[in-house]
């Protein structure tokens, strides 16, 4: 489930329309999980105050990583989760095109001060997706250091519907990867990058429902760099989080699926020696 991850190249080619531009975390009580992330990644959380609903900006050595906030109200029925946002050059059109393609608009375009505009949709494949149009703020910075976001992918229960959606609405060029290791005659899991070769910034994985608890919908997930995946996994467990899958060796590093103490899942990635040399 976690062996398909190249390194997204938004740090070198710039963040273009249709590429991940931001991630954020929503939990019942942010104060309870901040120490967890501060220890695991060394992140800093800065509260933007009442004007922004006490949204916190997460930075890593001064570089923007993402955002975080406590759920509004009692948060009932809202699982703790990380969300991924794609960059849009025209959020009004992206929302309209999503609806026309069979998705649903959950949050229409809304300004976030002068920083930009955001919206939230569900896609034809069922996953929740954030949309961001830059104002004065251009999203995260991928530094290839510990705590930096490094890759993003859709775990899709309807691969064909999502492949067409991201192609038609976001300009993706779904590029299937050759998958090694499947038994002869076995059905292979399809995995496509959004662009060919080094231009890839995100992936689309054909997920098997048996991988997840019953009722789990399609979803986006983000990977963050750790120095040592096994040590990070042990620390995550000691701090009240959980290790759901891995760590395991892959061509793209040593990877694991984990959850914070509130239950929000994410991926950790220990980079390969080759990628470490590119830092």
Q: Where are the domains of the chain?
A: 1-155+218-279
Looking at 3.40.1160.10, 3.90.1150.10, 3.10.180.10, 3.30.390.50, the CATH number of the domain 1-155+218-279 comes to 3.10.180.10
Q: pLDDT value at position 276?
A: 55
Token couple for 227: 């120095």
DSSP letter string over 158-180? -HHHHHHHHHHHH----EEPPPP
Q: pLDDT value at position 274?
A: 65
Supply the DSSP symbol for 72.
S
Can the peptide bond before residue 192 be classed as cis, meaning omega within 30 degrees of 0? no
| Confidence grade of residue 16 (pLDDT, cut at 50, 70, 90) | very high
Summarised one tens digit per residue, pLDDT across range 158-177 is: 999 999 999 999 999 999 98
Can the peptide bond before residue 230 be classed as cis, meaning omega within 30 degrees of 0? no
| CB-side neighbour CA atoms (13 Å) of 144 | 17
pLDDT at 88 over 90: yes
89 close to 100: Cβ distance less than 8 angstroms: no
Q: What angle do CA 100, 176, 195 make, to 5 degrees?
A: 65
Question: What phi and psi, each to the nearest 5 degrees, are found at residue 247?
Answer: -65, 150
Question: What phi and psi, each to the nearest 5 degrees, are found at residue 278?
Answer: -85, -5
Q: Within a 10 A sphere around the Cβ of 159, how many other Cβ atoms?
A: 20
* Closest CA relative to residue 3, chosen from 229, 217, 205, 209: 205
pLDDT exceeding 70 applies to what percent of the chain? 87
8 close to 202: Cβ distance less than 8 angstroms: yes
What residues does 254 pair with on adjacent strands? 249, 270
Q: pLDDT value at position 189?
A: 87
Distance CA 20, CA 84 (A): 7
For 180-188, the CB contacts below 8 A with 24+ separation are none
Q: pLDDT value at position 183?
A: 41
pLDDT at 9 over 50: no
pLDDT at 134 over 50: yes
Summarised one tens digit per residue, pLDDT across range 38-86 is: 999 999 999 998 888 899 999 999 999 999 999 976 555 688 999 999 9
pLDDT at 89 over 50: yes
Summarised one tens digit per residue, pLDDT across range 17-39 is: 999 999 999 999 999 999 999 99
| Confidence grade of residue 230 (pLDDT, cut at 50, 70, 90) | very high
What residues does 220 pair with on adjacent strands? 154
pTM: 0.90
75 close to 120: Cβ distance less than 8 angstroms: no
Mean pLDDT, range 178-207, rounded to an integer: 80
Q: pLDDT value at position 1?
A: 36
Provide the sign of the torsion angle of the four alpha carbons 19, 53, 258, 269, taken in this order.
positive
């Amino acid at each position: 489930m976690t062996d398909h991850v190249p390194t997204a190249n938004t740090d070198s080619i710039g963040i273009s329309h249709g590429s991940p531009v931001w991630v954020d975390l929503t939990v019942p009580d942010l104060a309870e999980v901040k120490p967890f992330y501060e220890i695991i990644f060394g992140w800093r959380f800065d509260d933007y105050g009442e004007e922004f609903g006490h949204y916190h900006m997460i930075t890593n050595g001064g570089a923007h990583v993402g955002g975080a906030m406590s759920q509004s109200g009692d948060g009932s029925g809202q699982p703790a989760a990380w969300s991924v946002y794609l960059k849009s050059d025209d959020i009004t059109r992206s929302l309209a095109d999503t609806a026309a393609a069979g998705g649903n608009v959950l949050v229409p375009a809304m300004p976030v001060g002068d920083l930009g505009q955001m919206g939230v949709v569900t896609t034809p494949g069922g996953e929740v997706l954030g949309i961001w149009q830059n104002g004065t703020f251009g999203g995260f910075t991928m530094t290839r250091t510990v705590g930096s976001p490094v890759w993003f992918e859709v775990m899709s229960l309807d691969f064909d519907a999502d492949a067409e959606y991201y192609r038609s609405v976001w300009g993706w060029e779904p590029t299937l990867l050759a998958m090694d290791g499947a038994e002869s005659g076995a059905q292979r899991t399809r995995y496509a990058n959004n662009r060919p070769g080094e231009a890839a910034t995100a992936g689309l994985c054909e997920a098997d429902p048996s991988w997840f608890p019953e009722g789990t919908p399609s979803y986006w997930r983000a990977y963050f760099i750790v120095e040592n995946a096994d040590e990070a996994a042990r620390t995550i467990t000691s701090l009240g989080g959980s290790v759901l899958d891995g760590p395991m060796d892959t061509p793209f590093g040593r990877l694991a699926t984990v959850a914070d103490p509130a239950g929000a899942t994410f991926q950790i990635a220990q980079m390969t020696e080759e990628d470490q040399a590119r830092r």
